[in-house]
Amino acid sequence: MAFTESFDAKVMCRFLTRLLGHFDGKVHLVVDRHSAHRSKAVRAWLANHKDQVELHFLPSYSPELNPDELVNADLKRSLPHTHRARNQTELASETRRFFHRRQHQPHIVRGYFCGRHVGYVIDE
């Protein structure tokens, strides 16, 4: 989900609502300790959807344990070097294009979880 406003509890709840529309079973989401993830509004939303979504928090300041950091690095490497986005609209478009490609490249997505520190995510 791409958004242009600041990331806050409202955006997080909107993301969680959208996420539920894509899965039949319970979603287990690993998140960092951003204030939006721990906010009163998100906790209330989760209480109303406890059979559908559960958040699992990473330890404080542990970017090496967060697969999102690997995704972010991949995104930054994949953005065109010859044409930098000149505004938010172009950046959002390039970001959506990147994630659309990754949806069709499961072998790359699996690779985000092969690192020494993020292997805990894979349930074998």
**pLDDT of 123 over the 60 cut:** no
Contact 67, 117 (CB under 8 A): no
pLDDT of residue 61: 77
Share of the chain above pLDDT 90, in %: 37
Mean pLDDT of 100-116: 87
| Element (DSSP H or E) covering residue 17 | helix 9-20
Angle, vertex CA 121, rays to CA 29 and CA 102, nearest 5: 75
What tens digit of pLDDT does each residue of 46-104 get?
999 999 999 988 888 777 877 788 888 899 888 777 677 788 888 888 888 899 999 99
